């Protein structure tokens, strides 16, 4: 049941970037940059039964989330821990449910004619402390298509989810659109109990549309990702943020983009990136390695400095 719940969450967690009228420039993460936020998730929305009635389509707001006693709080922190390669780390926890996720990832880009492919290298680990289980998962690649005309984005590749303790694993395949015909954003998944080689769940559909799940007991469930509730993240006011927090760090770039002054936004972005290069050369000359604020390197990965599994 738990691995299936995680697969359902994984498949419904992806979304396309917001479309807007504002001109955009990539906010390439700067080493030492951090981001903090939290969410209030209504308790009556956590782990619904498969047979439970679904919320009405289009129901996106939940007033109960404003009352802390009716909600679970999720805390999130991200940090750019390396520039070469550009490694980003993420940590999220819910103390009340005794679960946390730790992820590290860096990207590798490849130009392919009219497309750009971005491989997501790294992995995440979901820990369910109540059950002593760890779910190790990878991430799909992303592709920007038709970059010289009308660009659009799709996901592609095979990802895995594994829990060594329970023996369950899942394979998720994000199918890229064939050159001629075929559907876009198609995804299929299979959950298996490895000791018995038994398939306990299959899924297919579109990761940004409708997904259908079929379970080994014959039950089925359909999830329309476009009607799932969206909980707004909570962020401290700008005046209370540190100088390296994302919205504070990039505030001038954002301000000029909102004013429509692309040249000024480009200059502000260049200034931040040049400052990063100067500081990096200084560290190299002094042979002083960069020390991240919230994450510690362990082997080939990175972990949060005060994770929930150590606190408990």
Q: Evaluate whether 308 touches 129 at the Cβ level (below 8 Å).
A: yes
pTM: 0.85
As a whole number, mean pLDDT of residues 162-180 equals 93
Burial 154-170 (b: 16+ CB within 10 A, else e): bbbbebebbbeebebbb
What tokens were used for 250? 């990039």
Q: How far is CA 145 from CA 111, 151, 208, 312, in A?
A: 10, 5, 17, 46
The per-residue pLDDT for range 218-270, each reduced to its tens digit, is 999 999 999 998 899 999 999 999 999 999 999 999 999 999 999 999 999 99
pLDDT of residue 45: 74
* Positive or negative: CA dihedral 53, 59, 60, 61: negative
pLDDT of residue 17: 60
The per-residue pLDDT for range 173-226, each reduced to its tens digit, is 999 988 787 888 999 999 999 999 999 999 999 999 999 999 999 999 999 999
Q: How far is CA 229 from CA 15, 46, 59, 187, in A?
A: 13, 12, 6, 21
Averaged pLDDT score across all residues of the chain? 88
Non-local (6+) Cβ contacts of 299 within 8 A are none
The per-residue pLDDT for range 51-93, each reduced to its tens digit, is 333 333 333 444 444 555 789 999 999 999 998 889 999 999 9
Q: List the domains of the chain with CATH numbers.
A: 2-15+30-226+246-311 (2.40.160.120)
pLDDT of residue 187: 96
Q: Which residue has the higher pLDDT, 275 or 69?
A: 275
Burial 89-128 (b: 16+ CB within 10 A, else e): bbbbbbeebebbbbbbbbbeeeeeeeebbebbebbbbbbb
């Amino acid at each position: 049941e738990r691995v299936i719940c995680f697969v359902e969450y994984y498949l419904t967690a992806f979304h396309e970037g917001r479309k807007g009228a504002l001109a955009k420039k990539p906010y390439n993460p700067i080493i030492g940059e951090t981001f903090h936020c939290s969410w209030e998730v209504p308790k009556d929305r956590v782990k619904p039964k498969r047979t439970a009635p679904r919320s009405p389509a289009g129901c996106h707001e939940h007033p109960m989330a404003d009352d802390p006693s009716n909600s679970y709080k999720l805390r999130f922190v991200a940090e750019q821990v390396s520039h070469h390669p550009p490694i980003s780390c993420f940590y999220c926890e819910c103390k009340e449910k005794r679960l946390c996720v730790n992820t590290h990832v860096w990207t590798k880009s490849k130009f392919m004619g009219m497309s750009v492919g971005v491989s997501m290298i790294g992995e995440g680990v979901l820990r369910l402390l109540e059950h002593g289980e760890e779910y190790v998962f990878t991430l799909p690649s992303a592709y920007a298509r038709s970059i010289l005309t009308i660009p659009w984005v799709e996901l592609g590749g095979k990802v895995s989810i594994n829990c060594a303790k329970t023996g369950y694993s899942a394979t998720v395949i994000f199918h890229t659109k064939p050159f001629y015909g075929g559907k876009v954003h198609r995804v299929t998944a299979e959950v298996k109990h490895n000791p018995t080689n038994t398939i306990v769940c299959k899924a297919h559909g579109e990761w940004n549309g409708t997904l259908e799940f079929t379970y080994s007991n014959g039950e089925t469930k359909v999830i329309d990702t476009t009607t799932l509730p969206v909980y707004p993240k909570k962020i401290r006011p700008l005046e209370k943020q540190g100088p390296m927090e994302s919205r504070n760090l990039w505030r001038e770039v954002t301000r000029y983009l909102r004013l429509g002054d692309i040249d000024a936004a480009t200059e502000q972005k260049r200034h931040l990136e040049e400052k990063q290069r100067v500081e990096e050369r200084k560290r190299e000359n002094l042979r002083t390695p960069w020390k991240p604020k919230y994450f510690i390197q362990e082997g080939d990965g990175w972990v949060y400095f005060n994770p929930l599994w150590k606190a408990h």
